[in-house]
Structure 1
């Protein structure tokens, strides 16, 4: 995935130091209940569509933009599924990033699924009973999309003291 320009600018100042960045991941469903997935160019694995909001961009707008940029599918955001601080990611160049993922449930509203940029090798619609191999990250978000429950988050310990 290409690194956004604003992150490259930050890296010129801070080097490889850890960054905490927002991220969005989307469970995009069509009217038939299929899920939109992309096979990532960097790993070759099938995954949910995701990305990084630009400075000043709302997470829902970033989701709509990323889905279209990567798949040519138009979508509308329906609800927040999850907010989760992920484990730090260590990139081969030495950069360290900890993403705070905001997972969003989206409904496809138009467009034809196709590779629309250089981040994906393939894109496609999959029925829930015929998914390709996916990570626990994707399975957790897909499970939340099937439920009508509240937004998931890691609870704080009740007896946690502030220092």
Structure 2
């Protein structure tokens, strides 16, 4: 996997401590309603297209850049689907990271789906009813993208409430 230069610079000083990092994850649709996926080099599994914004880069800019870099597809961002903090991950080299993913619904506007960098083994369009094996988080993000629901985020308890089971009627 291509680790961004700015993260390598941080790692030189910080070692393998847990880094809290932004991430963008894209659910990309084509005109036929198919979903763009890549089979990742690091895991060998099919996944939604994703990446890390560069310092100063807006999430939508990072999404458009990552989609093009990884798949050869030009896309536009349509809306924010969710904001989600993932569980921490530990990489093979011992580095630890935790990502806050901004999940975006995108629409392809050009290009041709192909392996376009060293992060993917395969890149393909899939009909929603013909998806390869995906984890529950990715499937949930795809389902959210197929609906017109408001942006999803994990709710926080109201301040000062002692009972976490309390709900407002």
Q: TM > 0.5 between the two?
A: yes
* Partner Cα separation in structure 1 for residue 2 and residue 14 of structure 2: 19
Structure 2 unaligned residues grouped into runs of 5+: 162-169
* Partner Cα separation in structure 2 for residue 75 and residue 160 of structure 1: 44
Residue 116 (1) aligns with residue 116 (2): yes
3-state secondary structure, aligned to 1:48: strand
Paired residues, number: 161
Runs of 4 or more off by more than 2 Å in structure 1? none
* 2:47 corresponds to: 47
* Partner Cα separation in structure 2 for residue 8 and residue 77 of structure 1: 28
Superposed CA RMSD: 0.9
* 1:21 corresponds to: 21
CA drift of 1:117 comes to 0.3
* Partner Cα separation in structure 1 for residue 90 and residue 42 of structure 2: 14
3-state secondary structure, aligned to 1:25: strand
Deviation readout 1:100-130 (Å, 9 max, x if unpaired): 0000000000001000001001100000000
CA drift of 1:159 comes to 4.1
* Partner Cα separation in structure 2 for residue 32 and residue 114 of structure 1: 17
Structure 1 unaligned residues grouped into runs of 5+: none
* Partner Cα separation in structure 2 for residue 57 and residue 117 of structure 1: 20
CA drift of 1:64 comes to 0.2
* Partner Cα separation in structure 2 for residue 131 and residue 27 of structure 1: 13
Deviation readout 1:34-78 (Å, 9 max, x if unpaired): 000000011110000000000000000000000000000000000
Alignment of 1:1-163 (within 5 A): 1-160=1-160
* 2:166 corresponds to: none
3-state secondary structure, aligned to 2:130: coil
